[in-house]
Structure 1
Amino acid sequence: MDTVYYLAWWNLENLLDVENADRPEWRKKKIGKYIIGWNAEILSKKIRNISSAIAEMNNGIGPDIIGVCEVENERLLHLLAESLSITGRRYSFVHFDSSDKRGVDVAFLFDEALFEVPKNLLFTVRLHKRSATRDLLQAEFITKKGKSLIIIGNHWPSRTGGQYETEPFRIMAAETLSYWLYQIAEKRGNDQPVLVMGDFNDEPFSRSITEYALSTPNIRLIRSARKDQNGIFTPYLLNLLWNEMADGKGTYLYNGKWSVLDQIMVNRAIALNKGFTVLSAGIYDHPDLLTPGLNSSPKAFGAPSKARRDLKGNIRESYGTFWSKGYSDHLPVVILLKEN
Structure 2
Amino acid sequence: MCSLLALLMGIFTMVELNCENLFDCRHDSLKEDTEYLPTSYRHWTPYRYWTKLNHIGQEIIACGEYRGRFEIPDLVALTEVENDSVLFDLTRRSILRQARYEYVMTSSPDVRGIDVALLYSPFTFKLLDSYAIRIEPMKGMKPTRDILYAKGLTIADDTLHVFVVHAPSRSGGEKETQPHRMCVADKLLESTDSVLAISPSARILIAGDFNDTEKDRSVKKIVEHGLVELSTQLHTANGAKGTYRFRGRWQNLDHIFGTRPMWDDWIGAELGAFKFLLTEDKKYGGVQPRRNYIGMKYQNGYSDHLPLIVRFKIRGN
What TM-score do you get using the length of structure 2 for normalisation?
0.86
| 2:17 aligned partner | 10
Give the match's secondary structure for 1:165.
helix
Root-mean-square deviation (CA), in Å?
2.3
Distance 2:82 2:176 in 1: 26
Structure 2 residue 69 is the aligned partner of structure 1 residue 64: no
Q: Deviations over 1:268-320 (max 9, x none)?
A: 2323x3xxx010113111111000476100000128xx53xxxxxxxxxxxxx
Letter in 2 for 1:126: I
Residue 250 (structure 1) aligned to one of 242, 247, 254 = 242
Match for 1:330 among 293, 305, 314?
305
Matches of 1:70 and 1:260, distance apart in 2: 17
For 1:33, the equivalent position in structure 2 comes to 35
1:100 corresponds to: 110
Given the alignment of the two structures, is residue 298 of structure 1 paired with residue 307 of structure 2, yes or no? no
Q: Which residue is equivalent to 2:4?
A: none
CA contact (8 A) 1:251 1:258 kept: yes
Q: Which runs of 5+ in 1 are unaligned?
A: 217-234, 308-320
Q: Structure 2 CA distance, aligned partners of 1:62 and 1:14?
A: 23
1:91 aligns with 2:101: yes
CA spacing shift, 1:170–1:186, aligned 2, 3 Å: same
> Could you tell me how far 1:330 is from its partner in structure 2?
0.4
Q: What's the CA shift for 1:49?
A: 1.2
Q: After TM superposition, give the deviation of residue 39 of structure 1 in Å.
A: 1.9
Equivalence for 2:58: 52
Identity of aligned residues (%): 28
Letter in 2 for 1:202: D
Question: Is the CA contact 1:127–1:135 (under 8 Å) kept in the aligned structure 2?
Answer: no
Is 1:339 the counterpart of 2:309? The answer is no
Equivalents in 2 of 1:245, 1:160: separation in Å?
30
Please state how far the C-alpha of 1:11 moved relative to its aligned partner: 0.2
Cα distance change, pair 245–75 in 1 and its aligned pair in 2 (3 A): same
1:64 Cα deviation from its structure 2 partner: 1.4
Contact 2:90 2:96 in 1 (8 A): no
**Aligned-partner SS, 1:152:** strand
Q: 1:236 to 1:279 in 2, by over 3 A?
A: same
Q: What CA distance in whole angstroms lies between the structure 1 residues aligned with 2:9 and 2:234?
A: 27
Which letter does structure 2 place at the counterpart of 1:141? G
Aligned counterpart in structure 2 of residue 269 of structure 1, from 248, 261, 272: 261
Question: CA shift at 1:110, angstroms?
Answer: 1.1
Measured after TM superposition, the shift of residue 145 of structure 1 is 3.2
Q: CA deviation at 1:335?
A: 0.5
What is the alpha-carbon distance in structure 1 between the residues aligned to residue 62 and residue 98 of structure 2?
A: 12
Q: Distance in 2 between matches of 1:243 and 1:86?
A: 29
Label 1:34 to 1:170 Cα distance change in 2 as closer, same or farther (>3 A): same
Structure 2 residue 254 is the aligned partner of structure 1 residue 279: no
1-10 vs 170-179, which moves further: 1-10
Which of 73, 97, 102 aligns to 2:83? It is 73
1:198 aligns with 2:205: no
Moved more, 176-185 or 76-85: 76-85
Partner of 2:142: 131
Q: 2:235 & 2:153 partners in 1: Cα distance?
A: 33
Q: Distance in 2 between matches of 1:290 and 1:106?
A: 24
Residues of 1 paired with 2:274 and 2:152: CA distance? 28
| C-alpha contact (below 8 Å) 2:101/2:122 kept by paired residues | yes
- Using the alignment, how far apart are the partners of 1:105 and 1:254 within structure 2? 23
Hey, what's the Cα distance between the residues in 1 that align with 2:276 and 2:177? 33
Could you tell me whether the CA contact under 8 Å between 2:102 and 2:120 is conserved in 1?
A: yes
Partner of 1:226: none
- Determine which structure has more spread, i.e. the larger CA radius of gyration: 1
What secondary structure, in the 3-state scheme, does the structure 2 residue paired with 1:161 have? coil
Aligned counterpart, 1:117: 127
- 2:3 alignment counterpart: none
